């Protein structure tokens, strides 16, 4: 007589309702259960990620999550290192069977292996050692090189050099090519041939392929500005005296976006494919003190445009297939042939406003006359 086969189950029994499941399985006699080992207590890292800040600076954020798979509370620390150098230490207070997630903010232009390591007390139960560490990759934050050419002053160079992750240096000759992380700043006269890449013109007396420079207008005030653009973030040009302003005329392929202007000329604008040219149409060494106090912020915004930041200071997470500038989605390109008609409505008195005020004054005068007649 043949014997009936049996099923042998080998397990540590560390699953939900283990006793009831085993009892039901072996009750028929066809299943045999062999218990090996037992429940182990452990503490480990169950989540670890890092990302660069989208605000165009060297900040990065790290998420680390630790879990306590034991029956006792414990205190521990997580040591965060970047290529072997400690950047932060996060303390954890873990109750039994608790998970705790923390977000750490640090700053570094370096990239490399970002690692986390749990530092546990000697008495802590820790069955698994491989989950006490975790690794991820932090991309390097690029440093942009500002190449200053022409008739610059020390204040302007210092304002550029004071920016984080910026290396500023003077050059005697225009390079034939510009790297991805290079910004060419031309002060005064521009050569006839310009390299492809990001270029900033400061108080230009001659232009490139996108605009021509006319006669100097003299001292002027900004009368219209767009406050939420990448070049005008944190700035207010109202009541600021400007000198060295020149008449500007754009060519057909300029694709200009004007951010600050007067009736006679644009003061701050971008042009070219992907806003490759940033133009400051005024003198940086002349003018009132408030303008000079704005220069470090203005230059920081110009560098942000060179890095590809948007109006909120965020860098794009993916390349854009369109050749149009991301600035064009914020401000519609303006007709630059007649600046007097382009001034913001808030700065120009309207006829209907004067008529409404006159009508209101007349109504009040008639009401006053009526009250006087009624009293008499």
Please tell me which residue, 260 or 226, carries the higher pLDDT value.
260
Write phi, then psi, for 229 (nearest 5 degrees).
-90, 165
The predicted pLDDT at position 313 comes to: 47
The predicted pLDDT at position 366 comes to: 63
Task: Give the whole-angstrom CA distance, residue 115 versus residue 136.
Answer: 6
Is residue 260 scored above 80 in pLDDT?
yes
Least confident stretch, 116-125, 163-172, 293-302: 293-302
Task: Give the whole-angstrom CA distance, residue 73 versus residue 93.
Answer: 8
Distance spanning both ends of the chain, measured CA to CA: 133
- Give the chain's mean pLDDT: 77
Distances (CA, A) of 307 to 153, 195, 222, 358: 24, 17, 27, 52
Q: Is the pTM of this model over 0.85?
A: no
Quick one: pLDDT band at residue 328, thresholds 50, 70, 90?
Answer: very low
- Percent with pLDDT over 70 in the chain: 76
Quick one: pLDDT band at residue 322, thresholds 50, 70, 90?
Answer: very low
Tell me if 340 sits within 8 A of 263, measured CB to CB. Answer: yes
β-strands 31-35, 42-52 pairing: unpaired
Quick one: pLDDT band at residue 359, thresholds 50, 70, 90?
Answer: low
Question: Where in the sequence of the chain do the CATH 3.40.50 domains occur?
Answer: 144-313+324-347
Task: Give the bridge partners for 218, in sequence order.
Answer: 245
Third-level CATH fold of 144-313+324-347? Rossmann fold (3.40.50)
For residues 32-48, give the mean pLDDT: 85
**Top-confidence range, 18-27, 49-58, 202-211, 281-290:** 202-211
Which spans in 14-153 are helix H? 18-26
The predicted pLDDT at position 1 comes to: 52
Task: Give the whole-angstrom CA distance, residue 271 versus residue 312.
Answer: 20
Out of 1.10.10.10, 2.60.40.10, 3.50.50.60, 3.40.50.1100, the CATH code matching 42-138 is: 2.60.40.10
Q: With both helix axes pointing from N to C terminus, report the angle between 289-307 and 154-161 in degrees, rounded to the nearest 10.
A: 50
174 CB burial (10 A radius; 0-12, 13-18, 19+):
middle
Rounded to the nearest 5 degrees, what angle is found at the Cα of 247, between the Cα atoms of 245 and 251?
130
Is residue 369 scored above 90 in pLDDT?
no
Burial 331-348 (b: 16+ CB within 10 A, else e): bebbebeebeeeeeeeee
Task: Give the whole-angstrom CA distance, residue 211 versus residue 198.
Answer: 16
Write phi, then psi, for 234 (nearest 5 degrees).
65, 15
Quick one: pLDDT band at residue 316, thresholds 50, 70, 90?
Answer: very low
For residues 364-375, give the mean pLDDT: 58
For residues 76-87, give the mean pLDDT: 94
Is residue 89 scored above 60 in pLDDT?
yes
Per-residue pLDDT of 273-297, as tens digits, reads 877 889 989 887 776 544 566 777 7
The predicted pLDDT at position 213 comes to: 92
């Amino acid at each position: 007589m043949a014997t009936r086969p049996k099923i042998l189950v080998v397990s540590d029994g560390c699953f939900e309702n283990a006793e009831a499941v085993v009892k039901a399985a072996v009750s028929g006699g066809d299943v045999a259960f062999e218990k090996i080992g037992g429940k182990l207590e452990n503490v480990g890292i169950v989540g670890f990620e890092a990302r660069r800040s989208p605000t165009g600076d060297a900040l990065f954020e790290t998420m680390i999550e630790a879990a306590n798979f034991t029956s006792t509370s414990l205190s521990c620390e997580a040591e965060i290192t970047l290529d072997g150098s400690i950047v932060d230490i996060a303390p954890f207070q873990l109750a039994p069977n608790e998970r705790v997630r923390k977000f750490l903010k640090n700053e570094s232009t370096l990239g490399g292996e970002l690692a986390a390591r749990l530092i546990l007390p000697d008495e802590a139960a820790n069955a698994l050692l491989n989950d006490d560490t975790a690794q991820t990759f932090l991309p390097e934050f690029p440093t942009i090189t500002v190449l200053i050419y022409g008739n610059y002053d020390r204040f302007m160079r210092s304002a550029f050099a004071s920016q984080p992750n910026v290396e500023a240096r003077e050059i005697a000759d225009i390079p034939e090519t510009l790297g991805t992380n290079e910004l060419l700043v031309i002060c005064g006269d521009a050569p006839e041939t310009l390299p492809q890449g990001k270029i900033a013109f400061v108080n230009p007396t001659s232009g490139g392929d996108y605009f021509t420079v006319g006669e100097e207008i003299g001292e002027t005030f900004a009368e219209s500005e767009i406050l939420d653009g990448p070049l005008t973030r944190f700035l207010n040009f109202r009541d600021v005296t400007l000198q060295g302003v020149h008449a500007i005329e754009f060519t057909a392929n300029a694709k200009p976006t004007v951010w600050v202007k007067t009736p006679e000329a644009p003061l701050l604008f971008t042009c070219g494919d992907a806003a490759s040219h940033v133009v400051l149409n005024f003198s940086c060494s002349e003018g009132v003190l408030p303008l000079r106090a704005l220069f470090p912020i203005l230059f920081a915004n110009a560098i942000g445009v060179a890095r590809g930041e948007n109006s909120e200071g965020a860098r794009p997470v993916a390349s854009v297939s369109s050749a149009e500038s991301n600035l064009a989605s914020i401000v519609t390109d303006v007709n630059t042939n007649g600046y007097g008609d382009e001034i913001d409505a808030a700065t120009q008195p309207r006829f209907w406003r004067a008529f409404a005020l006159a009508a209101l004054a007349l109504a009040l005068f008639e009401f006053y006359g009526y009250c006087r007649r009624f009293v008499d």
